[in-house]
Amino acid sequence: VTSRGGEDRSKRSAGIVPYGLLSPGILWLLLFFLVPLVTLGRTSLSVKASRFDPNDIRLTWELSNYTNAIGDYSEQFLRSFVYAGTATVACILIGYPIAYVIAFRGGRYRNVLLGLVVVPFFTSFLIRTLAWVNVLSDQGPVISVINYLNLSGALESLGIMSDGRLLSTHTAVVGGLTYNFLPFMILPIYVSLEKIDIGLADAAKDLYNNGWQAFRKVVLPLSLPGLFAGSLLTFIPASGDFVNAKFLGGPRNTMIGSVIQDRFLVQGDLPTAAALSFMLMIIITIGTLIYARMLGTDDLI
């Protein structure tokens, strides 16, 4: 079947039609990706001629924008990747079992369960994050329960709480990232699990694998594309996020997104903001390529 399909496709590939069909997409990419990318690159190599006029920037191939940015903000870069990485792992640990249950044990409730995963999206991202500010606040319900159970000492020694609070700590920021990006992990994993023929796992068991071995050797490898997609959809936006750090974190939890936001929107320092954005993009691209190779899913890119 595949070879016949292949023949058909090779015969059809000639002519102008495919390019015509592609042109809206190409135009879109040119206008909204390539042009901004070049502008961003240009700005990142420019110098701001006037402190107060953001339009007055001059291209001087200012490589020091990059070296200064690395020198000043390597801490925030590192912190962003640690936070985003932790949140991604937490999303996998929470999201995979949920996706698994929905795909294999959901039965006729499958659509309802999927709906429940998506329902929180009906409320704005910002409102959901701000709600956590109230939930975690010093006089809020979570701290009350922790104090009632006398757990704060234990949680502090684990580094989860500090100074008797959860709000304005790294725990709150990572927790917020995990919460906000969890559906982006569940949905792609679900899609790849749902396509797996459950008979394959049964066959593995028939061949003397126990349940865990069947999962590890058959189901998990087949769901890797979903896991890969979910990790990217979580890690990439999470590492550039600033909303969670702003509302749930303190001045010691700033992420690179916070710095870019501040440089761009508060200080009006476009060249530094552009250099930071560019570096973030390059680091993430390289990271993604390495990750794809490690998981053996490079054909996806």
Partner 1 sequence: MSALAAAGVVGPGLLAACGSDDESAGGPSNALWHDNWPGYMDEETLDLFRKESGLDFKYTEGFNDNNEYFAKVQADLAAKKSIGPDIITPTFWLAARLIDLGWVQEVPFDNIPNAANLVPSLRKPSWDPEGRFSLPYTSGMTGIAYNIGATGRELTSTADLFDPKLKGKVGMLLEMRDTVGLTMLLTGQDPATAAFADATDAFSMIEEAKDSGQIRAFTGNDYMDDLATGNYAACIAWSGDVLQLSLDDPNIRFVIPEEGGMQWSDVMVIPQGAKNADNTAAWMNYLYEPENAARVTSYIGYNSPVEGVQAILAAGDEAQQAQSKSQLLFPDAATLDRLSVFANLDPEAEAAFDERFSEITGA
Chain residues binding partner 1 by CB under 8 A are 51-56, 72, 76, 134, 137-139, 162-165, 167-168, 246, 250-252, 254, 258-259, 261-262, 265-268
Closer to partner 1 by CB, 3 or 124: give it: 124
Distance CA 93, CA 209 (A): 23
Task: Report the nearest approach of partner 1 to the CB of residue 250 (Å).
Answer: 5
Task: Report the nearest approach of partner 1 to the CB of residue 52 (Å).
Answer: 6
* Contact yes or no for 186/95 (Cβ under 8 A): yes
| DSSP-derived secondary structure for 64-99 | HHHHHHHHHHHHHHHHHHHHHHHHHHHHHHHHHHHH
Closer to partner 1 by CB, 112 or 126: give it: 126
Task: Report the nearest approach of partner 1 to the CB of residue 241 (Å).
Answer: 14
Closer to partner 1 by CB, 135 or 196: give it: 135
Task: Report the nearest approach of partner 1 to the CB of residue 301 (Å).
Answer: 34
Task: Report the nearest approach of partner 1 to the CB of residue 72 (Å).
Answer: 7
Task: Report the nearest approach of partner 1 to the CB of residue 176 (Å).
Answer: 15
Distance CA 121, CA 128 (A): 9
Which distant-in-sequence residues (6+ apart) come within 8 Å of 197 by Cβ? none
Distance CA 13, CA 138 (A): 64
Q: State the number of CA atoms in the 13 A half-sphere of 245 facing the CB.
A: 25
| Residues β-bridged to residue 57 | 48
Distance CA 166, CA 213 (A): 39
Closer to partner 1 by CB, 173 or 186: give it: 173
Closer to partner 1 by CB, 97 or 164: give it: 164
Token pair for 207? 């061949």
Closer to partner 1 by CB, 180 or 253: give it: 253
Closer to partner 1 by CB, 68 or 297: give it: 68
In which element (H, E) is residue 44 found? helix 35-44
In which element (H, E) is residue 181 found? helix 170-194
Task: Report the nearest approach of partner 1 to the CB of residue 217 (Å).
Answer: 47
